[in-house]
Amino acid sequence: MEMIDIGANLAHDSFDADRDAVLQRAAAAGVAQIVVTGSSEESTRRAIELASVHAGVLFATAGIHPHHAADLTVDALPALQALAADSRVVAVGECGLDYFRDFSPRDLQRRAFAWQLELAARTGKPVFLHQRDAHEDFIAMLREHRVTRGVAHCFTAGERERDEYLALGLHIGITGWINDERRGLHLREVVKGIPANRLLIETDAPYLLPRDIAPKPKTRRNEPAYLPYVVRAIAHERGESAESVAGASTAAARQLFGLPAP
């Protein structure tokens, strides 16, 4: 079974002590390639550095998460533009709107999001999207900017949101949220209606540790080696084999992000 983790925050400092071991465990588990999420200027730089050290295996996104939207000032924009143009960067983001936490003022979130949608259009790269409790503004901006290529990462919403993203041409990223029997139940229904060639898989490590890992890991830190748990949960709901979910999502990820087969 060959898989691509399309969203792992491997630049996160929780991986500083043992990042190479994490990558080895991922490879041993069948995770052939990983898209390392950039969510600030600093983490984007680190993601690109990792992608250059592990060329062909790790790839980067370049973006400013809505939590950090206030950091993306007019003065900070040229640096992000330069990072987004890097050949190891396969998507612009993580960008979007988060009205659940509201860590940045909403008007600044919308400004940062709009700039990044423009940047994606200019670079020709797909967008790596984050949305929480902001669907109406979010979909309106995607439509206004005529976004057709990207992934709604860590999708946790319902059928209406799913169908609106699919209608734009977007892919849907499913995380270990689906393994959570307390809050992932509706997602188990929603995942049945995603076409196989639009379904991507991700750990969002170090977050969202799948709850059904056995034996339970010693820490709460998630890592790409646990991606098979997400695949099996998806496969179970869709009545498919894990191999078919893995195979289709790998092909879809390679196509969307333009990844070479290793």
DSSP classification of residue 70: G
By the rule CB under 5 A, 125 interacts with Zn ion: no
Using the contact rule CB under 5 A, the part of the chain among 19-27, 114-122, 147-155, 217-225 near Zn ion is: 147-155
- State the burial class of residue 75 (Cβ atoms within 10 Å of its Cβ: 0-12, 13-18, 19+): exposed
Angle at 192 between CA 132 and CA 233, to 5 degrees: 80
Q: How far is the CB of 154 from Zn ion (least distance, A)?
A: 5
Using rule CB under 5 A, residue 162 touches Zn ion: no
Q: Name the strands in the sheet holding 58-62, side by side, starting at the edge strand that comes first in the sequence.
A: 3-8, 31-36, 58-62, 89-98, 127-132, 150-152, 171-174, 199-201
Give residue for tokens 């977050």: 207
Which stretch, 135-143, 154-162, 165-173, 186-194, contacts Zn ion (CB under 5 A)?
Answer: 154-162
Tokens describing residue 218: 């010693």
Asked if 12 is part of the footprint of Zn ion (rule: CB under 5 A), the reply reads: no
* Number of residues in the chain: 262
Tokens standing for residue 235? 């496969």
Please give the span between the terminal C-alpha atoms of the chain, in angstroms, as a whole number.
14
Nearer to Zn ion, 66 or 228 (CB): 66
Task: Pick the stretch among 107-115, 153-161, 173-181, 233-241 that binds Zn ion (CB under 5 A).
Answer: 153-161
Tokens read off for 10: 């491997």
Write down the least CB distance from residue 28 to Zn ion, Å. 26
What is the smallest separation between the CB atom of 130 and Zn ion, expressed in angstroms?
Answer: 4
Does residue 68 touch Zn ion according to CB under 5 A?
no
Give the nearer residue to Zn ion in terms of CB position, either 227 or 242.
Answer: 227
Task: Give whichever of 130 and 171 is closer to Zn ion, judged by the CB atom.
Answer: 130
When binding is defined by CB under 5 A, the residue of 12, 130, 198, 232 that contacts Zn ion is 130
Query: Quick one: 150 or 242, whose CB is closer to Zn ion?
Result: 150
Binding stretches for Zn ion (CB under 5 A): 130, 154
